[in-house]
Chains A and B, each alone.
Chain A
Amino acid sequence: GQQVQQSPASLVLQEGENAELQCNFSTSLNSMQWFYQRPGGSLVSLFYNPSGTKHSGRLTSTTVIKERRSSLHISSSQTTDSGTYLCALERGYNQGKLIFGQGTKLSIKP
């Protein structure tokens, strides 16, 4: 089965609403990362968050290892937040590969 599950698969919100994206994993991990994938395909790193809570502007990432979950919260969403958000786990320290979820496609309506 898939080691990283993201939910919801898609989310449509009105501008100004908050967004909550979830990532659940079924295996042990060394780190959890969140990326934003631009429409053209390139990835932008949002958070490297092996555990705990991290903030960056309107974004907050929380990883709870013992519950095997991570979340990305976007407050006061803007139309420019629209796109695909990916979570990825790294199973061991510097083991190289990231295991990605299928992503959450976020659409923010004006």
Chain B
Amino acid sequence: DAAVTQKPRYLIKMKGQEAEMKCIPEKGHTAVFWYQQKQSKELKFLIYFQNQQPLDQIDMVKERFSAVCPSSSLCSLGIRTCEAEDSALYLCSSSPQGNSDYTFGSGTRLLVI
């Protein structure tokens, strides 16, 4: 079982609805990352938190997503208004500070219809 927990495993939303997915990083890890993977495509970096502060994110996240880590043991990624193109597997990863040892969760698979 992954030490990074993601919920829910599956999420189905209508276009225009809001979506939210959660990630519990591995205990003691201070860095949290979100990636998006569309069907048969490479993982795409979305946002990176260090000690709960966002340090890097792509423009799409700034414009349409909401991502926070209210505590060291919980992060969430939200989509304000779902679009069909948001259908993808969303993977959360964590790592210790100063260490490239990444642990990935099992992902949340979002389908927007």
A40 near B106: Cβ-Cβ < 8 Å = yes
A97 to B55, CA, bound (A): 10
Q: Decide yes or no: A33 and B109 within 8 Å by CB, A41-B37, A96-B50 being known contacts.
A: no
A15 to B35, CA, bound (A): 33
B41 near A102: Cβ-Cβ < 8 Å = yes
A96 to B94, CA, bound (A): 10
Task: Report chain B residues within 8 Å CB of A90.
Answer: 100
Determine, out of A42-50, A55-63, A70-78, the stretch whose residues face the partner at the interface: A42-50
Number of contact residues on B: which range applies? 20 to 34
A102 to B56, CA, bound (A): 22
A33 to B104, CA, bound (A): 13
* Total count of chain A residues near the partner, CB < 8 A: 26
* The one of B31, B45, B101 that contacts A99, using a Cβ cutoff of 8 Å: B45
B95 → chain A closest CB, angstroms? 8
Taking Cβ atoms with an 8 Å cutoff, the residues of A that contact B are 2, 4, 30-31, 33, 35, 40-45, 48, 86, 88, 90, 94-103
Taking Cβ atoms with an 8 Å cutoff, the residues of B that contact A are 2, 31, 33, 35, 37, 40-45, 48, 50, 55-56, 89, 91, 93, 97-107, 109
| A-B residue pairs, 3 tightest by C-beta | A96-B48, A43-B104, A97-B45
